[in-house]
């Protein structure tokens, strides 16, 4: 099924941001529901060729991995470099689609996703986001501002918020 979804994603038209966000959401559903994290999906796309370079979802890789982190680790493996050197090997312009705003703080001590994006340098020009990070684990995510300050466009793709939050919070205790 995952292969079929990936094949379908390869046919997404350039700049069809809604479809890329729906694909990222389909990835998020593969993340195990847990009360201690959000289920997030992410996709890295080369803008010039509209090629999907990497996909990821929360906890896809070993460790307490976030969706964006999984994308970057896969890209590092693909290009044979440490993740810290991705900016040297990525195509000139890539876009990141992520269902939930990239984290600016990790309670686990891992490098926040915003810092990972910034470490790539000027290759990621735009981050497309489905919802802002809810305040449950870390309140006042400063990721959006940090990206904007670095000259990276932050674009909210509207229309999927309810579905994204439903998937993201699966496994969480529901408040009454």
End-to-end alpha carbon distance in the chain: 35
- Full strand arrangement of the beta sheet holding 153-156: 51-57, 41-46, 94-100, 124-131, 153-156
Report pLDDT for 45.
Answer: 96
Report pLDDT for 9.
Answer: 67
Please tell me the distance from the alpha carbon of residue 9 to that of residue 3, in angstroms, as a whole number.
10
* CATH class, range 2-168: alpha beta
Annotated catalytic residue, options 3, 51, 68, 161: 68
Report pLDDT for 131.
Answer: 92
Are residues 115 and 148 in contact, defined by beta-carbon separation less than 8 angstroms?
no
Predicted confidence (pLDDT) per residue in 67-121, tens digit: 999 999 999 999 999 998 999 999 999 999 999 999 888 777 788 999 999 999 8
pLDDT mean over 138-153: 83
pLDDT band for position 1 (cuts 50, 70, 90) = very low
pLDDT mean over 133-146: 70
Q: Which two tokens stand for residue 59?
A: 């906890």
Bridging pattern class, strands 124-131 and 41-46: unpaired
Are residues 70 and 115 in contact, defined by beta-carbon separation less than 8 angstroms?
no
Q: For the chain, what is the mean pLDDT?
A: 89
Q: Which two tokens stand for residue 131?
A: 């919802």
Question: pTM score, two decimals?
Answer: 0.91
Tell whether the model's pLDDT for residue 4 goes beyond 90.
no
Is residue 93 part of the annotated active site? The answer reads no
Please tell me the distance from the alpha carbon of residue 70 to that of residue 73, in angstroms, as a whole number.
5
Report pLDDT for 66.
Answer: 94
DSSP-assigned letter for residue 13? P
């Amino acid at each position: 099924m995952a292969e079929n979804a990936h094949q379908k994603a390869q046919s997404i038209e350039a700049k069809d941001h809604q479809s890329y966000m729906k694909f990222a959401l389909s990835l998020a559903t593969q993340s195990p529901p847990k009360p201690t994290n959000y289920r997030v999906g992410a996709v890295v796309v080369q803008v010039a060729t509209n090629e999907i370079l990497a996909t990821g979802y929360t906890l896809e890789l070993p460790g307490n991995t976030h969706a964006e982190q999984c994308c970057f680790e896969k890209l590092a493996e693909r290009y044979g470099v440490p993740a810290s050197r991705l900016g040297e090997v990525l195509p000139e312009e890539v876009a990141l689609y992520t269902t939930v705003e990239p984290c600016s703080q990790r309670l686990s001590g891992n490098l926040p996703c915003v810092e990972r994006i910034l470490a790539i340098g000027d290759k990621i020009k735009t981050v497309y986001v489905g919802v802002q990070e809810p305040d449950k684990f870390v309140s006042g995510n400063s990721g959006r501002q940090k990206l904007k300050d670095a000259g990276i466009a932050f674009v909210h793709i509207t229309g999927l918020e309810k579905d994204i939050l439903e998937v993201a919070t699966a496994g969480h205790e529901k408040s009454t």
